[in-house]
A and B are shown apart, each in its own frame.
Chain A
Amino acid sequence: NAGVTQTPKFQVLKTGQSMTLQCAQDMNHEYMSWYRQDPGMGLRLIHYSVGAGITDQGEVPNGYNVSRSTTEDFPLRLLSAAPSQTSVYFCASSFRRNTEAFFGQGTRLTVV
């Protein structure tokens, strides 16, 4: 089992560029989330989904878009990258509510 797979692992973007961070899980989990990790801030929720076709905003959604057309995939789109979006991004999935989340290995994004 691959678990939660994120691609790419590293990315450098120029200010204003757009890109999509990919996330796929093979555990048939209904719940998926995107977090960003910044030094001293812990992990902060960007967007989440409780099933295919259902997404909602987290704590820090500005500048990001998501969609969930299948149970397996939950891509995160940066619409117009800004240096403030330099961070490590983690995708997570969980089987149902009130259960632990399983994390991908992360994408380290630098915006110059």
Chain B
Amino acid sequence: AQSVTQLGSHVSVSEGALVLLRCNYSSSVPPYLFWYVQYPNQGLQLLLKYTTGATLVKGINGFEAEFKKSETSFHLTKPSAHMSDAAEYFCAVIPPARGYSTLTFGKGTMLLVSP
């Protein structure tokens, strides 16, 4: 079974609209959850992470995500999209395999922002 699933390979929004990128994880993995962003021809940059504590996590560039254990979800949101948010976004978990030492990634969601 997939450790992490991202719904939608592409999401299109208008500038100023709400951004919602969906991520569901397997209940068999511990709740160490991450969102990364990748701009064209660049490496991955950490947006935000959940490990313990408050379930609403704030990240860089106005993004936030809420850990919902009952729904095994960690959806990424931003109230108002900017053109500069256009990028690919990856949700990631740390499964117990390999001693919790590596990340497993979803297949990614490309965010397209139109003027």
Contact = CB atoms under 8 A, between A and B. Distances in A.
Contacts of A106: 41-43
Contacts of A35: 105
Select the residue from B34, B44, B94 with max chain A CB neighbours within 10 A.
B44
A58 B103 CA distance: 11
A84 interface: no
Contacts of B101: 31, 48, 50, 94, 97
Interface string A73-109: 0000000000000000010101001101111111000
B107 A98 contact: no
**Chain A interface mostly:** strand
B46 A100 contact: yes
Nearest to A48: B102
Nearest to B91: A42
A90 B44 contact: yes
A71 interface: no
Contact of B108 (A31, A42, A58): A42
A83 to B, nearest CB: 22
Contact of B9 (A31, A40, A48): A40
Interface in A6-47: 31, 33, 35, 40-45
Contacts of B42: 105-106
A76 B104 CA distance: 19
A103 B32 CA distance: 18
B102 A43 contact: no
Interface of B: 9, 30, 32, 34, 36, 41-46, 49, 51, 90, 94, 98-108
Interface of A: 4, 31, 33, 35, 40-45, 48, 50, 56, 58, 90, 92, 94, 97-98, 100-106
Given A43-B105, A58-B98, A101-B102, 20 more contacts: A33-B103, A40-B9, A40-B107, A40-B108, A42-B90, A42-B107, A42-B108, A50-B99, A90-B44, A92-B44, A97-B99, A98-B30, A98-B51, A100-B49, A101-B103, A103-B43, A103-B44, A103-B45, A105-B43, A106-B43
